[in-house]
Structure 1
């Protein structure tokens, strides 16, 4: 299993950063998600499901994402999602924003990727922590770059 927990301060208002995580804006911060369709929208968000299509090279993977945790207050925004990818990986990801002041937001991105079978476990070992760290850093950079465009 690979885990990550990264934090950074983004010099943008929390609402503008959170706006990037809304369904209609998700491709700005996750450009490889080529489709994101609501399957079931639950009151309070938790339990809502979405069908996502993710393009990796020429291949497109389709999977179901579920909202596992959700909080949306003026001081804190939080969403934890979970999905199974290619019947080989169980992935959980958390996006948390804390308001520092009107012009600064603490962005916390953490999660885990667990191999579900022999193939998944082998691929995680081959991909390794270093590659995962690169993917996490690139995602955080993209969120920050897009947030700065909102400012």
Structure 2
């Protein structure tokens, strides 16, 4: 299993950043433009265990997968969302988005992604995986949140 973690300081209030993860599809697409659908399948109290049918466009292909909420915290000073899904029966993927309020106008954002290959031949590809996607993602979240602040 591969894991990547990146942390960045964002010049925006915690609620401003949180809305991209815990809000509408329109807000989610600002930081994840390839997500073209995010429909609730099962919503549970406390959110942990909730499932969404997410649609992701890669080129001309649209893939669908169930995204399960594994962790969920929504307090004034700390927000945490961890999701998990299986991609194309090839990878088990988790993504954790952690926000910490530094002050009224600054937020610490930490993103952790894991990727566990499910097929032996896919493990070879994961040997060459880098943190490029994770780095680009935290930079995009910072850019979008600060531009809309």
Report the CA distance between 1:19 and its aligned residue. 1.1
Tell me by how many angstroms 1:144 deviates.
0.8
Q: Deviations over 1:110-146 (max 9, x none)?
A: 1210001124323323xx232xx11111111111111
Q: Retained in 2: the 8 A contact 1:18–1:97?
A: yes
Deviation of 1:21 (Å) = 1.1
Aligned to 1:32: 34
TM-score, normalisation: structure 1? 0.92
Q: How does 1:1-150 map to 2 (within 5 A)?
A: 1-24=1-24, 25-125=27-127, 128-130=128-130, 133-150=131-148
Contact 1:23 1:36 in 2 (8 A): no
User: Structure 2 CA distance, aligned partners of 1:99 and 1:23?
Assistant: 18
Q: Which stretch shows the higher mean deviation, 18-27 or 115-124?
A: 115-124
How many angstroms apart in 2 are the aligned matches of 1:10 and 1:54? 26
Stretch moving more, 90-99 or 55-64: 55-64
- Kindly indicate which of the two structures has a greater share of residues assigned to helix: 1
Give the direction of change, closer, same or farther, for the CA distance of 1:121–1:38 in structure 2 (3 Å limit): same
Which stretches in structure 1 are left out of the alignment for 5+ residues? none
* Residue pair 1:88, 1:119 contacting (<8 A) in 2 also: no
Runs of 5+ unmatched residues, structure 2? none
Q: Give the number of aligned pairs.
A: 147
Please give the secondary structure, in 2, of the residue aligned with 1:12: coil
* Runs of 4+ that moved beyond 6 A: none
What RMSD, in angstroms, separates the aligned Cα atoms of the two structures? 1.2
CA contact (8 A) 1:65 1:83 kept: yes
Distance in structure 2 (CA, Å) of the matches to 1:14 and 1:27: 18
Verify the 8 A CA contact 1:39 1:51 in the aligned structure 2: yes
